């Protein structure tokens, strides 16, 4: 699908904020349906 000429990618909007008043270090809250559709997966060709 022309991955050698045009890179495939995804854009993510990230907000850094306190969730419900609690501070959580090194955590991320993500939408489960986005993960089910393949968000954040990586393909490496060598």
Whether 26 is catalytic is yes
CA distance 31 to 43: 21
Instruction: Please identify which of the residues 4, 23, 26, 36 carries the catalytic annotation.
Output: 26
CB 46 within 8 A of CB 11: no
Closest CA to 41 of 14, 16, 30: 30
- Which residues are known to be catalytic? 26
């Amino acid at each position: 699908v022309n991955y050698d000429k045009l890179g495939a990618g995804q854009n993510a909007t990230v907000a850094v904020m306190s969730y419900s008043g609690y501070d959580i270090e090194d955590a991320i809250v993500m939408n489960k349906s986005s993960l089910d559709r393949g968000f954040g997966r990586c393909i490496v060709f060598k």
